[in-house]
A and B are shown apart, each in its own frame.
Chain A
Amino acid sequence: MQEPDRHEPPHAGSERELLETFLDYYRGTLLVKCAGLNEEQLRRRTCEPSTLTLLGLVRHMTNVEQNWFQRIFLGLEVDFVYHGQRDRDREFNDLDGTTSDQVERDFLAVCEQSRAIGEAHDLDEFERRSNDEWRVNLRWIYVHLIEEYARHCGHADLLRERIDGATGD
């Protein structure tokens, strides 16, 4: 995988600008943590007993992007890129033969779809999947995804450091 362009969020501005740029910053950070590694390194469980891998994290976040923006917010019945809709952890643990190039392409394509959905809707707009008191608004999805990416990038930090010693934000 290639190191992506990554832009620091502006230190002051509107809510939307900040949420969009922080989310993009973390999409980029996950790819930074994967950049320059070979197929075996990306699939290595370097923090056992944890079964996490860098490639598994990218596959997971691909499904997560689809889940929040397409399935929950828009209410679309789309298939997940990885392993249909039943077993939630298979994208982590069953690293099939999909090459890292393909994983990266699918990830970038899904992120682009999310970006277009997010830009077209108001942050106060509710999800279409449900209509109960638990329904989320688009704002919640942005903040949740930022913290979910950040937490997984924390995992990626330690996985990467044990592969080749590389560290950094």
Chain B
Amino acid sequence: MVIVAPPRTEPAFNGPEKSQLEAWLDYHRATLLLKCSGLSFEQLATAAVPPSTLTLLGLLRHMTIVEQYWFHQIFADHDVVPAYDSPDDPDVEFNDLQSATIEEVERDFLDASERSRVIVSNADLSSLARAAQPSTPIDLRWICVHMIEEYARHNGHADLLRERIDGATGD
């Protein structure tokens, strides 16, 4: 099984705040899948830019639990079971890549993203995260922009990983 590149829509060039943030988030979610598409498990699990231990599969797993953390847990205060968790390793999603198949990783990523999408679409950008520390209020606006820049930064990592795996480049 390989990941198939999803349809990816360029964010509209103008418009109101919320629709732009939602569109950029979806663009970067799709970009990460695009960078992973067509590769074998072994390729996805290759640390192709040593000494960095980053892998494409690790990035996909990482962004799954980041979606769960910021949107489901901190903003919406849902009970969340992290897709990857270990009492012994805070970076288990990066390190224990054999614990799930490509299908499982992709499905958990898509499920987490979809749940985030629903949470954002039903909330105002100025609403405060329900599970943030009272001393540090966090609004949905910050979470959305943070998620865009976190995805984009990791997609920069994904660019160089992918290029060293099979030479593929592109936005």
Task: Spell out A's residues near B (CB within 8 Å).
Answer: 9-13, 15, 18-19, 22, 26, 47, 49-50, 52, 123, 126, 133-137, 139-140, 143-144, 146-158, 161-162, 165, 167
A154 touches B141 (CB 8 A): no
Residues of B within 8 A of A167 (CB): 52
In angstroms, Cα B10 to Cα A44, docked, is 33
Residue B82 interfacial (CB < 8 Å): no
Q: Is the CB of A143 within 8 A of B153?
A: no
Compute how far the CA of A9 lies from the CA of B145 in the bound complex, rounded to whole angstroms.
Answer: 10
Q: Are B52 and A18 in contact (CB under 8 A)?
A: no
Partner of A146, one of B13, B149, B159: B149
Among the stretches B1-9, B15-23, B85-93, B112-120, the one at the interface with A is B15-23
Q: A12, B141: Cβ atoms under 8 Å?
A: yes
Question: Which residues of chain B are within 8 angstroms of A18 by Cβ–Cβ distance?
Answer: 141-142, 145
State in angstroms the CA–CA spacing of A167 and B164 once bound together.
Answer: 20
- Size bin of chain B's contact surface: 35 or more
Which applies to chain B's interface (DSSP): helix, strand, loop or mixed? Answer: helix
Contact B14–A22 (Cβ < 8 Å): no
Other-chain contact of A155, B11, B132, B160 (Cβ < 8 Å):
B160
A147 near B160 with CB under 8 A, answer no
Q: In the complex, A151→B159 CA distance in Å?
A: 9
Known: A156-B156, A158-B52. 10 other contacts (CB 8 A): A19-B145, A50-B163, A50-B169, A140-B12, A143-B145, A144-B11, A146-B149, A151-B153, A152-B156, A154-B159
